[in-house]
Amino acid sequence: MTYCVGMLLNRGIVFMSDTRSNAGIDNISTFCKLHTWSLPGSSALTLLTSGNLATTQAVVSLLDERSKAQDRREPTLLKAESMFQAARVVANTLHEVIDERGNQGPQSEGPFAATLILGGQIKPGPSRLFMIYPEGNFIEAGPDTPFFQIGEMKYGRPILVRAYDPGMSFEDAMKLLLVSFDSTLKANLTVGAPFDFHIYETDRFEIGRTGRIELEDPYFQSVSKGWGDALRSALDSIPAFRFDA
Amino acid sequence: MTYCVGMLLNRGIVFMSDTRSNAGIDNISTFCKLHTWSLPGSSALTLLTSGNLATTQAVVSLLDERSKAQDRREPTLLKAESMFQAARVVANTLHEVIDERGNQGPQSEGPFAATLILGGQIKPGPSRLFMIYPEGNFIEAGPDTPFFQIGEMKYGRPILVRAYDPGMSFEDAMKLLLVSFDSTLKANLTVGAPFDFHIYETDRFEIGRTGRIELEDPYFQSVSKGWGDALRSALDSIPAFRFDA
């Protein structure tokens, strides 16, 4: 399983992903699920991946190779003229990979499906965020639905729904996401640290702050430990239930 | 879908269930999923049901009829000598119902499965809480896993994991459960108010406080509205994230 979030803010887009990949419960490993591409000055794209690892790695590798050999292969991600066109390139690549392996030869028990989050900005357009389905179609985030989650999204959703604010700072967004990831981590063994992040600041047209937060990271530990106390205090602040006499 | 919780406390057991039943997304109705049986003075049992409604209603009706005609049909729920034996009666009844309808005649698209939570106390034993699977086997709650959730349990789980305390009062448990149900309600259309509850107080051997909390209930509204603010305050109380300079 996986947990990834892409969150549209007024200031830009925050991306975070876990790094656990598992084939069964006794075969777990760490893989990066956050990938970036940029032509500094004109485009910056981030892709978060969930689903079958062979599928998502093939998608990323194809996008990579085609971006590096732009003269030989069209269309490439970095030549897309808008985020919408970039989403189409990614969606078509995903569809191509699933189609290639899904319908021939030995059949797998599980589906080769994958779901992706693509966000970023291409000059002269605005920052945009998409969720791309294994069927190759996609939806876009907007003011009503400003963030997408993929993978094991239920445990970490209530806090996002309640505390998200489009005007929040990147620091507050990181805190919110770490709380959401911590709640998921505590409930599902197939979501695991470290967590990768990328902060894309609108109109910078280059990869922004990226990093990896380990389980032992002192800040993450303080969030993880502090959140239990904070939740109990929050519950105390709600008026008491009273049984009718 | 459904959301039900049975929670073992030092003082007794708190049960809560939603009341929504749905066949598809445009065919929703309200059904009680919390059922009680008692021989005042010697036993008090509560059953929470999730899964196929025809199955759970048949189980409840069979348990009911057999309890009322104890001389004609053995074993009956109210003649069980321990909570373990009561759980066996319920589990066998569930297995019988699924078996009867599951393997003959027209085949349903969906499974007839159901998952149940049974809790209560039978003299002279202690209060005990069980989760019963469609296969007819069951597990018991204990100090390490003091509550069971059935149905759509993920959204409402993080707050239970963080704020549960075996020594909490029934009033605090009601508040905690209503927060957990509110988080679920906000995320899943197939979980719906009103919510039924039963508070069983250990060594009372009779049905305790029961009731139904409507969506418009002023207390539930105050929880639902207050919790968003409380969560944001909780988040504010966590130290800020800082990017490395």
Per-residue pLDDT of chain B (245 residues; tens, 9 = 90+): 899 999 999 999 999 999 999 888 788 899 999 999 999 999 999 999 999 999 999 999 999 998 887 566 566 898 899 999 999 999 999 999 998 876 666 666 667 889 999 999 999 999 999 999 999 999 999 999 999 999 999 999 999 999 999 999 999 999 999 999 999 999 998 899 999 999 999 999 999 999 999 999 999 999 999 999 999 999 999 998 998 75
Report pLDDT for B191: 93
User: What six digits make up the tokens of B96?
Assistant: 């019988």
Phi, psi (deg, nearest 5) at residue A164? -65, 140
Report pLDDT for A74: 64
Mean predicted lDDT score pLDDT of chain A: 92
Beta bridge partners of A128: A120
Report pLDDT for B15: 98
DSSP 8-state symbol, B72? T
DSSP 8-state symbol, B77? G
Q: Which residue of A has its CA nearest to B165?
A: A232
Q: Does residue A221 belong to the interface with chain B, where contact is any CB pair within 8 Å?
A: no
Buried/exposed A117-134: b ≥16 CB within 10 Å, e otherwise:
bbbbbbeeeebbbbbbeb
Please tell me the number of Cα atoms within 13 Å of B161 on its side-chain side: 17
pLDDT reading at A73 higher than 70? no
Question: pLDDT per residue over A139-190, tens digit each?
Answer: 999 999 999 999 999 999 999 999 999 999 999 999 999 999 999 999 998 8
- Which of 3.90.100.10, 3.40.47.10, 3.60.20.10, 3.50.50.60 would CATH assign to domain B3-233? 3.60.20.10
Question: Could you give the CA distance from residue A1 to residue A24 in angstroms, rounded to a whole number?
Answer: 10
Instruction: For residue A188, give every residue at least 6 positions away whose Cβ sits within 8 Å of its Cβ, in sequence order, or none.
Output: A1, A3, A152, A155
Q: Spelled out in words, what is the top-level CATH class assigned to the domain A3-237?
A: alpha beta
Question: Could you give the CA distance from residue B181 to residue B142 in angstroms, rounded to a whole number?
Answer: 22
CA distance A18 to chain B (A): 18
What average pLDDT score do residues A13-18 get? 98
Question: Could you give the CA distance from residue B221 to residue B214 in angstroms, rounded to a whole number?
Answer: 9
Report pLDDT for A72: 61
Q: Does residue B245 belong to the interface with chain A, where contact is any CB pair within 8 Å?
A: no
> Which residues of chain B neighbour A201 with C-beta distances below 8 Å?
none
CA distance A88 to chain B (A): 29
Partner residue opposite B176 with nearest CB, options A155, A235, A239: A235
- Please name the residues between 56 and 115 in chain A that touch chain B, using a CB distance below 8 Å: none
Going by C-alpha positions, the residue among B131, B190, B126, B106 that lies closest to residue B7 is B131
> Which residues of chain A neighbour B162 with C-beta distances below 8 Å?
227-228, 231-232
Torsion angle in degrees (nearest 10) through CA of A163, A165, A171, A176: 20
8 Å CB contact between B207 and A204:
no
From A72-81, A235-244, B78-87, B164-173, the region with the lowest mean pLDDT: A72-81
Give the distance from CA B49 to its chain's centroid.
7
Phi, psi (deg, nearest 5) at residue A40? -50, 130
